[in-house]
A and B are shown apart, each in its own frame.
Chain A
């Protein structure tokens, strides 16, 4: 809103769309059935710093529980970080009110069956951000909604329908239209195609790529599907138990992964090549537990190449890779 929060920041061209410094988020959870014990702390995101340049697509990958959705929710301003700071388009997220935030950054969630109000008509769903923002006439709203629906490849007549009358792909298009109706510059896509069929997934990925080019959007693209991330992202961050363990541009990461966890993730992608069989990922059976983060390198219990020092000493980050061996 005011310019004072922007004052300390470099000129607009160099300002990253998303700038995160030393962000940490801790949740307190109570152990089931253990009332006498103190709460346990789950460090969902642990000292994460990253930047996404304007117009870039940062893919964030990792297994369930690695903190990728918590990171997304903090960037959206839906969750306050326990420590650290987040800037969006050069402005401190904490200083922005809801409207200012909504005009800058918008989400597209995984499940379009859950993210659209089943009792609202499509037109009202897409119009809601405009209505909440005020300062716009009803006729302008209707025109803007029709324009947005066309833009995402839906017939404007669908505005009168209920979400229940639409297919999964159409619903996700509605969610995208709603996200873009306020003309934000950043969109956080949290598993936007995971609930969809491959044929529909391809349509939605093509649409997102087209919209990014035309509207010069920046995406934070969260997915567990590495093939999808490779297709859409310009840079990739690999998360493991709350930390970014490797960060590289997409081509480098996929061609020459350096962290053993990244290698395992890439090895587990089942490309449609018959005869190769199912790869042995080599991660063992120990699954990561965010409530009991191991000492030293937090990946060491599953790491196929762990050394003695990995058990006790946390690895340094060198060239975007957090590993003793990289």
Chain B
């Protein structure tokens, strides 16, 4: 792959002594790459993103071997410098556009503020840029929209406004946390096409957080599967869907109803139980309590195994176990 834009190496996030939300997660987003981070609620994927942005809640503590963005060490960056970076080179959009836009200000004033604050651009220049971007994200009559308040827009429009706002300063990396989960499928497809187009045209790197494997298959170049604060499998998209190695990844894929694959009324695959909340100092494989392949040795440290040059997974099972297993 090309130049690494975001490097996260063995990131740990803990909230007090009770919760280890991210436990040594590593991932790299290359320039111009769409990297998807998938997992169930509570697996730590949003906390990872917030840790990168240095937006953790006050009790949250982050530590990492390496946390670099475009060659800059984010761990050593003072708060003021980080604030300058956020919304400029490094932008983030959230799941629920209703709560992430300020209801008391017009769309225009919120968008214009971004460019004025980061670049000191004159109001007229910032306004032109806002109009241009709203048009670019597929909003008709952008000039009129600038004067509207968030509540006057539909959910799909609000999410487009969020995306346009994130692009005001031409960021290098966009972190999108479940950007389409709250939207209708038809609108979801439009927003995803838009993001894919921007990534192509602007060479934008995207870290896309989602629990929707269908979406992952269609937009990602690379996928990292997260479970209980760890990346349990990471691979190029085609490899992950063709030959998933970690039992958790395989379980997740079996849960998705695929038209034409699982017959009606045949039970879907399901993973019993929920993601555990782990205390700092937890040992062994976090998935073992829900895993059909668990063995006594899973209670001690599990190795990260390669399954190809850019495919690895965290499990005691060898890379060829899938072939030894009868097809599900």
Contacts and interface: CB of A to CB of B under 8 A. Distances in A.
Contacts of A2: none
A109 B40 CA distance: 21
Given A169-B274, A198-B256, A227-B259, A270 B264 contact: no
Interface in A187-219: 197-203, 205-206, 209-210, 213
Contacts of A226: 185, 259
Contacts of A250: 264
Contacts of B139: 285
Given A271-B259, A272-B253, A272-B256, A198 B211 contact: yes
Nearest to B253: A272
Interface string A201-244: 11101100110010000000000111110111110000000000
A198 B255 contact: yes
Contact of A279 (B189, B211, B237, B238): B189
Among A63, A199, A227, the most chain B Cβ lie within 10 Å of the Cβ of: A199
Interface stretch (A41-49, A122-130, A157-165, A261-269): A261-269
B27 interface: no
A255 to B, nearest CB: 9
A226 B214 CA distance: 12
Contact of A227 (B157, B190, B238, B257): B257
A265 B254 CA distance: 23
B274 A271 contact: no
A272 B190 contact: no
A276 interface: yes
A268 B255 contact: no
B193 interface: yes
A231 B264 contact: yes
Nearest to A203: B270
Contacts of B138: 285
A302 B176 CA distance: 28
A206 B240 CA distance: 26
Contacts of B269: 202
A24 to B, nearest CB: 24
Interface in A24-81: 63-64
A230 B255 CA distance: 14
A273 B219 CA distance: 10
Contacts of A264: 186
B140 interface: yes
B252 A273 contact: no
A260 to B, nearest CB: 12
Contacts of A209: 265, 267
Contacts of A287: 154, 156-157, 187
Contacts of A270: 185, 188-189, 192, 212, 214-215, 217-218
B40 A197 contact: yes
A275 B156 CA distance: 25
Contact of B186 (A63, A225, A227, A276): A63
B241 interface: yes
Given A197-B41, A280-B193, A268 B258 contact: no
B216 interface: yes
A271 B214 contact: yes
Contacts of A169: 274
A278 B196 contact: yes
A210 to B, nearest CB: 8
A289 B156 CA distance: 13
B185 A224 contact: yes
A169 B193 CA distance: 32
A154 to B, nearest CB: 13
A277 B257 contact: no
Contacts of B189: 267-268, 270, 278-281
Nearest to B240: A274
B257 A272 contact: no
Interface in B207-228: 211-219
Interface string B162-174: 0000000000000
Interface of B: 40-41, 138-140, 154-157, 184-190, 192-193, 196, 211-219, 237-238, 240-242, 251-260, 262, 264-265, 267-272, 274
Given A63-B187, A198-B252, A210-B267, 7 more contacts: A167-B274, A168-B41, A205-B257, A206-B267, A213-B265, A231-B257, A285-B190
Interface of A: 63-64, 167-169, 197-203, 205-206, 209-210, 213, 224-228, 230-234, 250, 254, 264-265, 267-281, 283, 285, 287
